[in-house]
Chains A and B, each alone.
Chain A
C-alpha cells in the first residue's frame, strides 16, 4: 500500500508532530533490526514498526513486545544512515502506550519504571531497596531474585536507610510541571 504525501496516517502525524521523531526518511535498509542486540525478543522488527507507523497501524505497534524489549542501547540510533532516532521512537511509542492506558505486552517493565520514578519523586534520589520493594509489591513476584537480594545484602550492597535531597520541593515541582504538560 502506498500512501501519498498528503495522505499521511494520523499515527505518523502524531509521531512526527507531537512526539517530534522524524521517520519519513526511512528506506527500510533494516540496519536497525539487524544490529539490534535484543531483536530475538521482539515480535515485530524495528524497521517494520516504522513501516507500520506510515500505514497507520497504531494498535498493532503499541501492543508489540518490541517496544518493551528494547534496552535503549542506542545502537540503531547510532547506525541509522538517515539519522532516524529509533531509540527515541521506542520511547515515544512506550509513552503513547502507557499514557493511553494501553494493555501492554510487557506489564512488568512499565510497572518498574513507575516504581523507579516514584522513588525519585519522594526523595529526589533512588533508594534501591525501597524502589525494588515497591516494584515487588506491584508485581506480586517476591521470589524472583530473592536469593540474589540476600547475597547483595550480606555484602553491604543494599543500603538500608534512604538518603534524600534537601531540595525536595524543587523535585516535586519538576514532577508537577511534567504532569501539567502531559495533561495539556
Chain B
C-alpha cells in the first residue's frame, strides 16, 4: 500500500522523535509513505489569526500537489490536519473563500490516528506486536484540533474519540478512561502565554494521575511540546511531583514491535520514560 505523507514543520525539528518513529512503524507495516513533493507550512494558527486568505491559500498548495498522486493523504500533526481539512472544505465550497484552486477534493485527508485505527491496519499492527505493553496504564490525549470543530474534521465522536484508545489496547497496554481527552493544553500559546499553558497542562496532569495513568499518549507535536518539555516547570510551580512520560502513539507502537530504534526516539524526551519502562520490564 502507498500513501501520501505531509509531515509538517515540527516533525523536521522539535518532533523528530514523532517523524522517526512514524516512518519506522510504517516501514514494518509495509506501507509506503510518499512525502508530499515540496510541501510548505500549513500556516498553522498564526495564519488564521492574522489573515483569512493566507490561512486557506497556504494549505491549499499542499492539497493541489498531493491530489496529483491520488493517494490518501496522512497527517501526523493536529494543527496541520485541521488546516488542510479546512482548506478542503473551502475547495469543495462548504466554507467561503477567495482562494482559487484546482483541488477537486478527490483524495481522503486522514490524521494518522484515523488511518492506523482502521480495522485492517489495527489488525495488521496487532500481528506485529512482539512485546505487548502489559502493565502500562495510558491516558489517550487527543487535544483540540483532531476533533474540533467536527464540521471541519469530520470526526463523529468528537466529545469522546476512541481511535487512540483502540490502538493502545491492541498494543497490550491499558487505556484508562478519563474525561480530558480533548481538553486544551494551551496549544499555540506555547511560547507566548506560558502562564495559560502551565495552568491548562497542570489540569491534564492532575486528571491523568487521578485516572490512574502512569503515562500519556499523544499524536500531535504541540501537545507533546507542552506536556513533555514543560512538565518539570509545571511540577515545580504547582508543587507536584509529576512523573508522566509522554509518548507519541507511534513510539508506543514501535516499542510493542520491539523496534531497535526505540531508545533513540525516547532519548529526545525531557521526561525520561526509561524508569517507567524498566519498572514493567519493557527495557
Provide the residues of chain A in CB contact with B98, threshold 8 Å. 181
Report A74 CB to chain B, min CB distance, Å.
Answer: 4
| Given A78-B150, A116-B46, A125-B40: A157 in contact with B184 (beta carbons within 8 A) | no
- Complexed CA–CA distance, A167 and B61 (Å): 10
Contact B50 A98 (CB under 8 A): yes
Nearest residue (CB) in A for B17 is A157
Report if B41 contacts A (CB, 8 A).
yes
**Can you list the 6 inter-chain pairs with the closest CB atoms, starting with the nearest?**
A74-B148, A116-B46, A126-B9, A73-B184, A113-B46, A73-B144
Contact B41 A178 (CB under 8 A): no
Contact A73 B14 (CB under 8 A): no
Provide the residues of chain B in CB contact with A120, threshold 8 Å. 40-41, 43, 47, 58
Contact A71 B53 (CB under 8 A): no
Contact B195 A73 (CB under 8 A): no
Contact B9 A128 (CB under 8 A): yes
Report if B48 contacts A (CB, 8 A).
yes
Report B151 CB to chain A, min CB distance, Å.
Answer: 9
Contact A178 B53 (CB under 8 A): yes
Residues of B within 8 A of A (CB): 9-10, 12-17, 38-41, 43-54, 57-58, 61, 96, 98, 144-145, 148-150, 158, 183-184, 186-189, 191-196, 199-200, 229-230, 233, 267-270
Contact of B184 among A71, A129, A159, A175 (CB under 8 A): A71
| Given A78-B148, A124-B40, A178-B54: A117 in contact with B47 (beta carbons within 8 A) | yes
Chain A interface SS verdict (over half): helix
Contact B230 A148 (CB under 8 A): yes
Report if A43 contacts B (CB, 8 A).
no
Per-residue B-contact encoding for A172-184, CB less than 8 Å = 1, 0 else? 0011011001100
Report if A55 contacts B (CB, 8 A).
no
Provide the residues of chain B in CB contact with A114, threshold 8 Å. 46, 50
Report if A10 contacts B (CB, 8 A).
no
Nearest residue (CB) in A for B9 is A126
Contact A151 B229 (CB under 8 A): yes
Contact B270 A155 (CB under 8 A): yes
| Residues 35-61 (chain A) with a chain B CB within 8 angstroms | 37-38, 40-41
| Given A71-B184, A75-B148: A174 in contact with B58 (beta carbons within 8 A) | yes
Contact B193 A72 (CB under 8 A): no
